[in-house]
Structure 1
Amino acid sequence: MDLQCILCWRIAPLFFLMPCGLLSVSVHVINEQPVHVIPGSSLVLKAQIELGPMKEISMVTWEQEPETGSDPVRVTLATCPGRSLKCVGTRPNVRMSMEQQETTLQINGYSRADGGVYTVTVTDHTGAKTAAQCIVREYEAVHHVSVSINVSHSVLVCGEAWGTDPRFSWLHERDAITQTVGKVSKDGTRLIVTMTPICGHFTCMVSNKLGYSSATYTAAPCETQGRGTTVAVVCLVLLLLLCGGVLAFLLWRRQRCGHRGERLHEHLDDGI
């Protein structure tokens, strides 16, 4: 038997013993999903390509299609042949780059129409294709904050409509929540009220990168030391005003009596 054939027969089984990862191509999107983008800013997606030693990249393509719809149409955004640095975008605001085993897609001036499902496809030299997807959505401001109460459990619940990445915080009479007032849940949506009775204004603040909104639950007014101090100050002021009035009256009366004495003395002198 020919020596070359003998070597082929001996080497061939080694390919079956090789791990599958050494003979295949894999790709995954690095960004945490779903990706939320503020309108007008830049969308940047990155994907890591793992290439087996027996494989070569023929083409890398980024595509986009609507997230919902009965018949979504996939549109090609950018392509890059092999490891070439000459990647081409289909629109002026679309850029694509390849660096080692990583590909980057950037869309400047993101708009609502740019949302949807993004697909990165890697084609090897044999024509085999491997793809990965991620969902891109518009970053929404917080909307319609509301506060409700579960009276039986003394729990205030804060709700928000559809804002992206909402963060919750609570105030009682414009001050941060203390242990004497209550305890806030880990996600911030609930306030377990420990103060008795429940009184005053409880405000839920919901915020994200685009701003904030709030809602307030109003209970019965609180009898606080501050109010007692205010009443005491008012009473003191009234007492001072009363004392001042009495003193002014006494001075006025003394001055009037003094004038009468002078006039009486003048009359006596005239009679003499």
Structure 2
Amino acid sequence: MDLHCFLCWGVALLLLLMPCGHQCLSVRILNQEPVYVIPGSSLVLRARIEQGPLEEISMISWERESETGVDPGKVTLATCPGSSLKCAGTRPNVRANAEQKETTLQIDGYSSTDSGVYAVTLTDHKGAETTAHCIVRMYEAVHHVSVSINVSHSLLVCGEAWGTEPHFSWLYERVAITKTVGSVSKDGTTLLVTMTPFCGHFTCVVSNKLGYSSATYTATPCETEGRGTTAAVVCLVVLLLLGGVLAFLLWRRHRHSSRGERLHEHLDDTI
């Protein structure tokens, strides 16, 4: 056996004896964390499995523990034991599935008690374990919207308590903000008012998948052209009414005068 062949066999033997490397099991959860779940819907977590040709999986387990650490105990949700990896959930609404390159956990009727840190653990035929984690939280509705003002800079700032994925938008007199009114920041939370005078009603609307809530800041009333036009129309109507009444009175007076003259002429003819 020459030196080259001897080195090749030596490298191969070292790779086989190494406890880790390209032959080891690995797992990663594919969901982007944190995962937010709407109450009553289904939570689905998917994990990708990578294993070498010499590795065998003897167990897959899904577990959950508290994110805050108040309840440090782990809860087993599903296990997939044996070579067939046939999975079984620990509750009726929990299902799991295992394939050669992927494992899935599904929880139906999600509630706040299902929030926490989820872990999927692979155990190989030698008892070595590898684990991946994922944070899961409940999707919260929008709460307590408020609008504050920085008068010196004509800034209106919109705030929201704890809603998940809040989207901010602004209205001026119930119409979307235009450049003549001001400009909105990229995140939508701030409105810079450039119109003069600073007047009217400014409304911040915060929404997400569960609905929306709003708050309105009311500045001083605006003197608009519409009000001046309305006043002019009212004055014109009043003048027309007065003119009509005056014309009616003149016509009536003229009519009575004409009747008196005709009566006088009739009496003269009779005599």
TM-score by length of 2: 0.89
| 1:216-231 aligned within 5 A | 216-231=216-231
**Given that residues 145 and 206 in structure 1 are in contact (C-alpha distance below 8 angstroms), is that contact kept between their aligned partners in structure 2?**
yes
The question of whether the paired residues in 2 share the 8 Å contact of 1:142 and 1:164 is answered with yes
- In structure 1, the residue matched to 2:166 is 166
Secondary structure of residue in 1 paired with 2:247: helix
How far apart are residue 145 of structure 1 and its match?
Answer: 0.6
Paired position in structure 1 for 2:232: 232
Partner of 2:31: 31
255-264 vs 241-250, greater mean Cα deviation: 255-264
CA contact (8 A) 1:118 1:135 kept: yes
Q: Give how far 1:60 is off.
A: 1.1
Mapped contact 2:182–2:195 kept (Cα < 8 A): yes
Partner of 1:252: 252
> Who is 1:76 aligned against?
76
Equivalences, count: 266
Give the match for residue 184 of structure 2: 184
What amino acid maps onto 1:112 in structure 2?
A: S
Unmatched tracts of structure 2, length 5 or more:
none
Matches within 5 A, 1:45-194: 45-81=45-81, 84=84, 86-194=86-194
Aligned to 2:133, the other structure's residue is in SS state strand
Q: Is the 8 A contact 1:22 1:54 kept in 2?
A: no
Runs of 4+ in 1 over 6 A off after TM superposition: none
Q: Per-residue displacement from partner, 1:183-213 (whole Å, max 9, x unpaired)?
A: 1000000011111231111110001111111
Select between 259-268 and 221-230 the one with higher mean Cα deviation: 259-268
Between 153-162 and 99-108, the greater mean CA deviation after superposition: 99-108
Residue type at the aligned position of 2:56: E
Shift of 1:174: 1.1
Q: Secondary structure at the match of 1:250?
A: helix
Q: Which amino acid aligns with 2:237?
A: V
Tell me whether 143-152 or 97-106 shows the greater mean CA deviation. Answer: 97-106
Q: What is the identity percentage for the equivalent residue pairs of Structure 1 and Structure 2?
A: 67
Taking structure 1 as reference, are residues 87 and 233 closer, same or farther at Cα in structure 2, changes over 3 Å only?
A: same
How much does 1:80 deviate? 1.4
Q: CA deviation at 1:235?
A: 1.9
Contact 2:65–2:71 under 8 Å retained in 1: no
Cα 1:225–1:12 change in 2 (3 A) is same
| SS of the residue 1:59 aligns to | strand
With over 3 angstroms needed to count, the CA separation of the structure-2 counterparts of 1:223 and 1:105, relative to structure 1, is same
Q: How many angstroms apart in 2 are the aligned matches of 1:252 and 1:86?
A: 105
2:211 maps to 211
Q: Distance in 2 between matches of 1:123 and 1:114?
A: 24
1:9 Cα shift? 4.8
Query: Do the aligned partners of 2:116 and 2:137 also contact (CA within 8 Å) in 1?
Result: yes
Aligned equivalents of 2:130, 2:175: Cα separation in 1: 55
CA distance in 2, matches of 1:227, 1:158: 30
Alignment-mate amino acid for residue 13 of structure 2: A
SS across alignment from 2:202: strand
- Paired residue type of 2:120: V
- Deviation by residue 1:219-253 (Cα, 9 ceiling, x = unmatched): 11222222222222222222222222222222333
Change (3 A) 1:28 1:255: farther
Q: Which consecutive unaligned segments of at least 5 residues does structure 1 have?
A: none
Asked if 1 retains the 8 angstrom alpha-carbon contact of 2:59 and 2:85, the reply is: no
| 1:76 to partner: Cα distance | 0.7
Measured after TM superposition, the shift of residue 19 of structure 1 is: 11
Aligned to 2:12: 11
Deviation of the 1:8 alpha carbon: 6.3
Letter in 1 for 2:138: E
What is the TM-score normalised by the length of structure 1? 0.89
**1:22 match: secondary structure:** coil
